[in-house]
Structure 1
Amino acid sequence: MSKRRLIFAGTPEFAASSLQALLAQQSALNIEIVAVYTQPDRKAGRGQKLTASPVKEVALAHDIPVEQPLTFKKSSAEGMVSRETLANYQPDIMVVAAYGLILPLGVLKTPTFGCLNIHASLLPRWRGAAPIHRALLAGDSETGITIMQMDLGLDTGDMLYKVACPITEDDTSESLHDKLAVLGTDAITTVLADLPTYQAKAERQDSSQANYAEKLSKAEGEIDWSQSAATIERQIRGMHPYPSTYTFLADGEQFKRVKVLSALPVNTSQSTDKAPGTVISIGKNAILVACGKAHPEDEQATTLRLTGLQFAGSKPLSAEQVCQGNQLDDGDRFISQGNQ
């Protein structure tokens, strides 16, 4: 049987992991990766040099042709050229993982077996751009990978295969990303090994159970200390390492921006009558800060133990280093400027 011609479309490290796995298993899966599609090179770093995506780097290392179209829209000449180029590869399958470009119906129908998406959630929960972060921010106990047959909707296609992943109390978006990247490679190779069977058993999504994982903004990283410690602790983990959480330290009439890098799980036995944002104590293991109430009817507010901070112009510091460097004092106040 001739090998199925496969096109891979993806951009970040999450997608690169799956591409690596497919390249390593081409013979076992009876596929040939004939081209890789990825976003155009972007400026990055302090020097703002054009930088290739992780997926492009993998493709070039394996001498796979790379395509970087700006659009597939029929309304533009460039989009029509992109469609023609895609069709000329005569793909049997297209695998998509965090590509970042909308695929219109004409593209979805080009491969013989359609387009398969590796999505980092248990659909229909967390459709959209930031499923890993949103699962953490919401306090979900689990997430996972869904292999989906793509249609015109935003992550609305039929589900071919799902695998769950528990979310632990110390998971960050970084650690959860790495776990799901591994699961994603296993899931897509599982489906490709017996694609007709999985497509025949495809399951429609229940859209009444769907929610949307909107792309994160940097503004969402500002900590509102009137929120409960549990909410803030999830925010710190869900936004680490990007876009990261931050606050402002009141210093006379000035406000100094401080990145909040890490915290310990919430100790529900600790409470306080201090105003939200107040530094209660500074120790070698943690910096104790007052937060809001867990429930409106509670008499006292919650507390959060910060373990890593970064002051403007400084390197990241542990709680012990902050304690030794005298950057904070008991009674100092973190301010949420967005609520002023």
Structure 2
Amino acid sequence: MPLRLIFMGTPDFAVPTLRELAAHGHEIAVVYTRAPKPGGRRGLALQPTPVEQEAQRLGIPVLTPKTLRTDEALAEFRAHNADAAVVVAYGMILPQPILDAPRLGCYNLHASLLPRWRGAAPINRAIMAGDAETGVMVMKMDVGLDTGDVAMGERLAISDAMTASDLHDQLAAIGAGLMARAMAALERGALTLTRQPEDGVTYAAKIEKAEAKIDWAKPAHAVLRHIHGLSPFPGAWSEVEVDGEAVRVKILRCTLSAGAGTPGEVLEDQLTIACGEGAIRIVELQRAGKAPMQAADFLRGTPLKRGASFS
């Protein structure tokens, strides 16, 4: 028989998994997500999370508690009589009584090859660190930070062309299918769990704005991975002088390129920029207050000649 599930998630990354579980016939008793936040053009209207929007489309009840640590929250959670809970980027810590409430436990979809990149920003950190691959894993949750026993996983190569947005979308799709398979195995009583190894643990700390400034003195590959790991948000940035004024530019996509020069120097009129070793060519960028644009479009309005410098 299909499982009766509680789904807990918030951002776009979680939506494919919710959709996939519903499509596989599981009964989603309720969706837990974060409360709506002000948004829209003027920042006044409350915007429901992507998961809440999908739950509404599917006709699933939605709860947005501020905490799960009260007796009332626990009683409400237990009252759903769920076989299991599925958690995907929910954004709130689950205390032990909540973890213990579903008959078969709580299962999290995490976007890394655990135990590497436990924590808040595994997609960004994997790219920024120059990792050759990453993946998604389903684990049975405990009270630690992504320390639970692993049930299933899938690997994905990281190419130098991938941005955090690209990798996010691919892992979200792969993860949805992986969680559906995990719940099917759980339904059959055939889900096996393996303890995470103690070696190889790394932590994916939350991205801080101070990290976003580009250090052109680093080798070109490190610069490229830094740029792509922060694209599109918060966006790796640098400043360049335009008509005597320092203009901040976010670089969203680039490629490795031949060339050498002083770090940050524009080597030719196609936005090839020298790094500490080698160079990158900017493909897509964004001026403050403007929409993202291709490098050719930027140069039509802001010609940068050889010898100009990013700092």
**With structure 2 as the length reference, what TM-score do the two structures score?**
0.94
Structure 1 residues 100-115: aligned runs within 5 Å: 100-115=91-106
Confirm or deny that 1:138 pairs with 2:106: no
Deviation at 1:225, TM superposition (A): 1.1
User: Of the candidates 26, 32, 37, which is equivalent to residue 32 of structure 2?
Assistant: 37
8 Å contact from structure 1 (residues 92, 113) kept in 2: yes
Q: Hey, what's the Cα distance between the residues in 2 that align with 1:164 and 1:314?
A: 36
Residue 324, structure 1, aligned to residue 282, structure 2: no
Question: Which whole-Å CA distance do the structure 2 matches of 1:292 and 1:278 have between them?
Answer: 10
- Equivalent positions of 1:52-201 (< 5 A) are 52-73=48-69, 79-195=70-186, 196-198=189-191, 201=192
Residue 47 of structure 1 pairs with residue 42 of structure 2? yes
The equivalent of 2:24 in structure 1 is: 25
Q: In the TM superposition, what is the alpha-carbon distance from 1:161 to its structure 2 partner?
A: 0.7
Structure 2: distance between partners of 1:164 and 1:240: 21
Structure 1 residue 253: Cα displacement: 7.1
Alpha-carbon distance change, 92 to 316 in structure 1, aligned in 2, over 3 angstroms: closer
Q: Which residue of 2 aligns with 1:278?
A: 265
Consecutive unaligned residues of structure 1, counting only runs of 5 or more, are 74-78, 294-301, 336-340
CA–CA distance in structure 1, aligned partners of residues 68 and 34 of structure 2: 12
1:292 lines up with 2:276 in the alignment = yes
The farther-off stretch of 306-315 and 167-176 is 306-315
AA of the residue aligned to 1:53: T
How far apart, in 2, do the equivalents of 1:309 and 1:192 lie? 41
**Secondary structure at the counterpart of residue 95 of structure 1:** strand
Contact between 2:163 and 2:253, CA under 8 Å: does it hold in 1?
no
How far off is 1:326 after superposition?
A: 4.1
The aligned counterpart of 1:298 is: none
Larger radius of gyration: 1
Counterpart Cα distance in 2 of 1:72 and 1:317? 43
Note the alpha carbon deviations across 1:200-224, whole angstroms, 9 max, x for none: x311011331101111122222111
- Deviation, structure 1 residue 99: 0.3
**Partner secondary structure for residue 292 of structure 1:** coil
Residue 285 of structure 2 is matched in structure 1 by: 309
Superposed displacement of residue 54, structure 1:
0.8
Choose which of 228, 231, 235 in structure 2 pairs with 1:237. 228
Return the alpha-carbon distance in structure 1 between the equivalents of residues 35 and 291 of structure 2: 32
Shift of 1:309: 2.5
Greater mean deviation of Cα atoms: 228-237 or 37-46: 37-46
The aligned counterpart of 2:218 is: 227
Whether the 8 Å contact between 1:8 and 1:37 is mirrored in structure 2 is: yes
**Residue 169 of structure 1, CA deviation:** 2.4
Tell me if structure 1 keeps the 8 A contact 2:160–2:224. Answer: no
**Cα deviations by residue, 1:273-325 (Å, 9 ceiling, x for unpaired):** x3211111113xxx1111113xxxxxxxx211112232334443322223333
Are 1:213 and 2:204 counterparts? yes
SS at match of 2:137: strand
| CA contact 1:16–1:54 (8 Å) conserved in 2 | yes
2:5 — aligned with what?
A: 6
Alignment-mate amino acid for residue 90 of structure 1: N
Residue type at the aligned position of 2:46: L
The amino acid that maps onto 1:197 is: A
Deviation, 1:255, is 2.3
Task: Tell me if 1:250 matches 2:241.
Answer: yes
The Cα shift of 1:176 comes to: 0.9
1:37-81 per-residue CA deviation (whole Å, 9 max, x = no partner) reads: 0011112243112110111111111221111111112xxxxx221
Where does the alignment leave 5 or more consecutive residues of structure 2 unmatched?
none
Deviation at 1:252, TM superposition (A): 8.0
Cα distance in 1, alignment partners of residues 136 and 288 from structure 2: 38
Q: Which moved more, 1:35-44 or 1:314-323?
A: 314-323
**1:322–1:328 CA contact under 8 A, matched in 2:** no
Contact 1:108 1:114 in 2 (8 A): yes
> What is the identity percentage for the equivalent residue pairs of Structure 1 and Structure 2?
40
